[in-house]
Amino acid sequence: MSEPESAQDFHATRLEDSSSGEDDTDMHESVKHQEQDECPPSTNTNTGAATSNEYDEDEWRENEFENPPVDGNMRVVASHYNELKESGRTERVKSRIFHMRNFNNWIKSQLISEYIKRIKTNQRMGDPMRVLDMCCGKGGDLLKWEKAMITHLICTDIAEVSVEQCKRRYEDIIRRAEHSKFAHKFTAEFFACDSTLVRLRERFKDPSLKLNLVSCQFAFHYSFESLTQADCMVRNAAECLQPGGFFIATIPDAFEIMKRLRASPNGRSFGNEVYNIEFCSDTNPPPFFGAKYQFHLEGVVDCPEFLVHFPTLEKLCRKYGLKLERKTTFADYFKENMDNGRNLLQRMSGLETVYPNRVGNDEQYEHIKRYCKGNTGRPYGSLSKSEWEATTLYLVCAFRKCKNTWDSQGKPVFEFD
């Protein structure tokens, strides 16, 4: 490949190089920015985003018996991700969810850097930073780990093909780093397995390894098929974390999903031109585990998923010494991070540049016409209404591993405060 001629070329070249389409663009400091305001649809339109976060427990049903995992579900998930085709940059740019995927990627970047910073404030210079990327996929977060200057990474996923791709991308990063004085190198290990069935530490090269951070992005909800699976996944997230370490995740917001479902005309499905959710299980009321729906997201997901009843997740986490630190919807996390994350969001093309005087009668961008208050000639950064509705289905959450003592039976007693 020939040397890129300008910053813009460099940007494009690097993106073409990336294999998953979920790559960071964090490193391309020199890409030109355009002065623009951010105006997501939430600012002016009612997208149906939840305003209250209260769970009405009468709306949910505690499972009377343990629903055994249906063998087929995880196989469907694994083969879906294994068969997912790589799309090139040109194709991705054309996709109706191009900006939303970048926006989601930005949310992950902000979350990772927030918790890496918190861990580092309590470390001494030269201390290791060890991370488990549980359900790593094709390695969409590898550049984030490089940028976070971690020392060791463990990557695992149920889809073998994805793990192989992730490993190859890691090897590319290390090869590039070898030719650069400034690039950061870190060690890594990779293995394919089902995190809801297997005790991960037994697969680590060093099963006694202590981790600083466990990250599970857009995947934890697959475990809520049954209590046994969710319990296994939480134990995997918790048991190797050092006290003071964090478990961070992005998951669909069950509260928001139920709210939209209740408002839908047929009571079983809802969505728009980029996503669709159709329930397969009884939702009157939904069970704590096994509340299954088919999730379709344009061109990238078509899989069975499960609602995560958050108070139950919190209880499971406490069992393994994880204390809830934050639970924030994407809409709120975006607002919270806008000031310090603005430049990165632009570099990652996490918002679309929209000129109010060019949107005509397109209802996807009506909110911009309202927001600009007649100032129609200048650009605004935004997402289409459909993309915003899809991204606001999610929340970020973080749990901190607590210190413990041991009781006379040899069981850990966690100190939650």
Ligand X SMILES: C[S@@+](CC[C@H](N)C(=O)[O-])C[C@H]1O[C@@H](n2cnc3c(N)ncnc32)[C@H](O)[C@@H]1O
**Helix or strand or coil: residue 53?**
coil
Q: How far is the CB of 157 from ligand X (least distance, A)?
A: 4
Residue 220's alpha-carbon distances to 30, 142, 230, 357, 363, in angstroms, are 35, 19, 8, 42, 34
Q: Are 132 and 220 in contact (CB under 8 A)?
A: no
Using the rule CB under 6 A, is 173 a contact of ligand X?
A: no
Using the rule CB under 6 A, is 391 a contact of ligand X?
A: no
Number of residues that bind ligand X (CB under 6 A): 20
Q: How far is the CB of 175 from ligand X (least distance, A)?
A: 22
Q: Which of residues 65-124 bind ligand X (CB under 6 A)?
A: 74, 77-78, 81
Q: Where are the alpha helices (DSSP H) in 68-199?
A: 71-83, 89-94, 98-121, 142-147, 160-178
Q: How far is the CB of 417 from ligand X (least distance, A)?
A: 31
Q: Could you tell me which stretch among 25-33, 143-151, 153-161, 355-363 binds ligand X (CB under 6 A)?
A: 153-161
Q: Is 108 marked within a binding site?
A: yes
Give the per-residue contact string, 238-277, with ligand X (x = CB under 6 A; - = no).
----------------------------------------
Q: How far is the CB of 159 from ligand X (least distance, A)?
A: 4
Residue 67 neighbours by CB distance under 10 Å: 17
Distance between CA 141 and CA 147 in Å, rounded?
A: 10
Q: Are 131 and 152 in contact (CB under 8 A)?
A: yes
Residue 194 neighbours by CB distance under 10 Å: 21
Give the per-residue contact string, 133-152, with ligand X (x = CB under 6 A; - = no).
--xxx--x------------
Using the rule CB under 6 A, is 21 a contact of ligand X?
A: no
Q: Are 277 and 269 in contact (CB under 8 A)?
A: yes
The CA-CA-CA angle for residues 29, 32, 35, to 5°, reads: 115
Q: How far is the CB of 139 from ligand X (least distance, A)?
A: 8
Pick between residue 22 and residue 38 the one whose CB is nearest to ligand X. Answer: 22
Residues 159, 274, 368, 398: which binds ligand X (CB under 6 A)? 159
Length of the chain: 417
Distance between CA 151 and CA 145 in Å, rounded?
A: 9
Q: Is 135 marked within a binding site?
A: yes
N-terminal to C-terminal alpha carbon distance within the chain: 55
Pick between residue 38 and residue 133 the one whose CB is nearest to ligand X. Answer: 133
Q: Which of residues 182-241 bind ligand X (CB under 6 A)?
A: 194-196, 217-219, 222
Phi, psi of 43 (to 5 degrees): -60, -35
User: What residue numbers does the annotated binding site for mRNA cover?
Assistant: 104-105
Q: Which residues are near ligand X by CB under 6 A?
A: 22, 74, 77-78, 81, 135-137, 140, 157-159, 162, 194-196, 217-219, 222
